[in-house]
A and B are shown apart, each in its own frame.
Chain A
Amino acid sequence: MDRYTEQRLFGLLARASAALVVGVLAMVISVTLYRGGRVFLTDPAVMITPPGSRYMLDGGGGFLHAVLGSIFIVVPATAIAILLSLSTAVFLQSDYSSERTSEIINMFLNVLWGTPPIVYGVFVLTVIIAVGAQTSLFFGIIAIAIFQYPIMTRYTDEALRSVPGAVKEASYGLGSTRFETARITIRSALPGIVAGVIIGFARGIGDAATVLFTAGRSTQMPGGLFEPATTLPILIFEQAASFNAEVRAHAYAASFVLIIAVLTLIIASKLLAGKYARFAPGGRHS
């Protein structure tokens, strides 16, 4: 095989691989949209109907409990994670910490970022057992917040890093304290930070492994902060292979709701990051 044939062959292979990946991923989305949409669009009310008393057996009612559970868990968790990750990222990027300290903390953040969600789930469950509590909304919030923390810190850190040094220098030059300078840095990095927060929110709403043991697999409406709850991914996980077609159909409908929510969030975050990159000082020029 001469070098030009080889060149053509591998060029084709690279194109084919990219087409395969895009095709398979498009298939995943369209299967979810089609199978879920067929159930959901014929009866959108399942989303706002509370489950019946024998929900797992006959699929009576709807899955409002999971929708509400997802919202009640992920919204507070995201708030906690924003507070923690923003503080950590500011600490890493500002003059509060030395370069060496930042590097060490970054190493731990990287490790946390790669930690499988199930480990967080097991960790929080261990805590639940230790304090003698039961699975509940509260521990679901904690588990998701821990899961989101490294993800959001990474994006926030990146956004803060892209703020040009001139902003910081100008602020110090006017006599600002480090705290005031940090606030200004945050303001100029805001679009990137918001994009990161949205991605963290989307990841939190889609994750099942962290909440499976911590929020529970309740089939009732969430009763209170210390009562068991469930989320959409758990519902899909539990019901996708059910023998009852009605119960299974609810898993499809829930996956339709979930994929629409996640895709909307991610696309919004990408658009936001792209749109404001031009205006942010020192933003990406590409």
Chain B
Amino acid sequence: MDGQTETEVADSKTLERRLRYERLSRYWLLGAGLFAVALFALIVLTLAHRSIPIVAEHSLIELLTSANWDPAQNEFGFLPAIVGTIYVTILSMAIGTPIAILAAIYIAEYAQGRTKVLVASFIDVLAAIPGVIFGLVGLIVVVPFVGDYLAPAFGSHSIGLGIVTVSLVMAIVVTPFIISLSVESLEALPDELRESSLGVGATKWETIRTVLLRAAGPGIFSAILLGFGRVFGATIVPAMLIGGQTAIPDSPFDAGETLPSLIVNDFGELMSIPLTQSALIFAGLMLLVIVWLFNFGAMFIRRRLQRRWQY
């Protein structure tokens, strides 16, 4: 009798302890889940709050359309940096996207066995190489290439640093990223698609072009959008290779400035002027909002794809 009550007491104690952990874990995990939302809100609100002084002083229109950037003279025109960012984004995506998609097609549809595993994992590993390494190799290899060969070939003059240089390097940075995501959406397609297309007499390339690319289209498109977001927010490579010149570039071989590189190049020395601080935080906010739009678009498209193919 006695022994039984003792176990009963011990049992109820254990149960109590287990339930206490259960309750505690509930609050902790709920907190962790909400942390993602809170972090995002905190970042947006902090940046927005700190941007108020500059937007109050100079109107939003002026900030976005003035080409004059000279914080010491109280001139804050973001247009040169915006134009530079758009230049770099469009150029590097124009170079990188076709190559990335073709390479993804090779990996998903042509490569087989060992080669496939090797090529795919090599590109996967490479997606994790730090940006500074690409910047450094850009300085060693791409800068002289652009300055000595590419610019003269186009009848232009360049010191090597500039928008084309950044675009070439960013194209290299962004391809592994687009390739991985595109391969993923191509391989997720059901094999029946390939079989029935080949079965009605299409060649392999016709199958890829008319069936697979169309079916995986939303997935690939969302990969491209995410790639846009990547290039848009890239910081270290532009800061190392763009030459740091806040004027609207006349030619793609000119030095320029992108929004992130503007933040990096101007923060150090100008932190003492409060309005400059605010202006650069405003640049960060712009980046966040635009990248957010890209990502949101990508998410929306991918969700449509999933609904269509149900995988």
Interface residues of chain A, those whose CB is within 8 Å of chain B, are 3-4, 6-7, 10-11, 13-18, 20-22, 24-25, 27-29, 31-32, 35, 84, 87-88, 90-92, 94, 96-97, 101, 104-105, 107-112, 114-120, 122-123, 125-127, 129, 146, 149-150, 153, 177-180, 182, 199, 202-203, 205-209, 212-213, 217, 233, 236-237, 240-241, 251-252, 255, 258-259, 262-263, 266-267, 270
Q: Nearest-CB distance from B291 to chain A (Å)?
A: 6
Contacts of A35 in B (CB 8 A): 140
Contacts of B172 in A (CB 8 A): 24-25, 28
Partner of B291, one of A14, A25, A114, A267: A114
Contacts of A150 in B (CB 8 A): 36
Q: Nearest-CB distance from A118 to chain B (Å)?
A: 4
Contacts of B179 in A (CB 8 A): 21
A18 touches B131 (CB 8 A): no
A11 touches B110 (CB 8 A): yes
Inter-chain CA distance A267–B32, complex, in Å, is: 30
B2 in the interface (beta carbon within 8 A): no
Q: Nearest-CB distance from B167 to chain A (Å)?
A: 14
Partner of A22, one of B39, B109, B122: B122
B110 touches A266 (CB 8 A): no
The 8 closest A-B pairs by CB, nearest first: A116-B233, A206-B130, A87-B32, A17-B102, A91-B33, A122-B284, A7-B205, A14-B106
Interface size on B, residues (CB 8 A): 92
Interface centre among B106, B109, B131, B133 (most CB of A within 10 A): B133
Q: Given A22-B122, A25-B126, A209-B235, check contact A96 B26 (CB 8 Å).
A: yes
Q: Which of B4-12, B43-51, B146-154 forms part of the interface with chain A?
A: B43-51
Contacts of B107 in A (CB 8 A): 18
A115 touches B288 (CB 8 A): yes
Q: List 9 other contacts, CB 8 Å, given A122-B280, A207-B131.
A: A7-B204, A20-B103, A97-B33, A115-B292, A119-B43, A119-B47, A179-B18, A241-B139, A252-B136
B263 in the interface (beta carbon within 8 A): yes
B229 in the interface (beta carbon within 8 A): yes
Inter-chain CA distance A46–B11, complex, in Å, is: 62
Contacts of B94 in A (CB 8 A): none
Contacts of B37 in A (CB 8 A): 104-105, 108
B119 in the interface (beta carbon within 8 A): yes
Interface residues of chain B, those whose CB is within 8 Å of chain A, are 18-19, 21-22, 25-26, 28-37, 39-40, 42-43, 46-47, 50, 98-100, 102-103, 105-107, 109-111, 119, 121-126, 128-137, 139-141, 172, 175-176, 179, 203-206, 208-209, 226, 229-230, 232-236, 239-240, 260, 263-264, 267-268, 277, 280-281, 284, 287-288, 291-292, 294-296, 298-299
Inter-chain CA distance A92–B26, complex, in Å, is: 12
User: Chain A: which residue is nearest B302 at the CB level?
Assistant: A110
Contacts of A13 in B (CB 8 A): 102
User: Chain A: which residue is nearest B102 at the CB level?
Assistant: A17
Inter-chain CA distance A209–B50, complex, in Å, is: 20
Contacts of B126 in A (CB 8 A): 25, 28-29
20 A-B residue pairs with Cβ-Cβ distance under 8 Å, sorted by A, are: A17-B98, A17-B99, A21-B179, A22-B123, A84-B35, A87-B33, A90-B29, A97-B30, A110-B295, A114-B295, A115-B288, A116-B234, A123-B284, A126-B50, A129-B277, A202-B128, A203-B128, A206-B133, A208-B235, A209-B236
B233 touches A32 (CB 8 A): no
A92 touches B33 (CB 8 A): yes
Contacts of B32 in A (CB 8 A): 84, 87-88, 90-91
Q: Given A206-B130, A262-B129, check contact A25 B122 (CB 8 Å).
A: yes
Inter-chain CA distance A119–B39, complex, in Å, is: 12
Contacts of A125 in B (CB 8 A): 267
User: Chain B: which residue is nearest A10 at the CB level?
Assistant: B205
B33 touches A123 (CB 8 A): no
Partner of B40, one of A97, A111, A203, A233: A111
User: Chain A: which residue is nearest B283 at the CB level?
Assistant: A122
Q: Is the interface of A mostly helix, strand, loop or mixed?
A: helix
User: Chain B: which residue is nearest A109 at the CB level?
Assistant: B36
A123 touches B277 (CB 8 A): no
Partner of B43, one of A21, A91, A123: A123
User: Chain A: which residue is nearest B232 at the CB level?
Assistant: A116
A111 touches B99 (CB 8 A): no
Q: Nearest-CB distance from B67 to chain A (Å)?
A: 23
A28 touches B134 (CB 8 A): yes
Inter-chain CA distance A114–B99, complex, in Å, is: 22
B235 touches A18 (CB 8 A): no
Partner of A116, one of B99, B123, B235: B235
Inter-chain CA distance A119–B292, complex, in Å, is: 12
A31 touches B141 (CB 8 A): yes
Contacts of A237 in B (CB 8 A): 132, 135, 236, 239-240
User: Chain A: which residue is nearest B261 at the CB level?
Assistant: A118
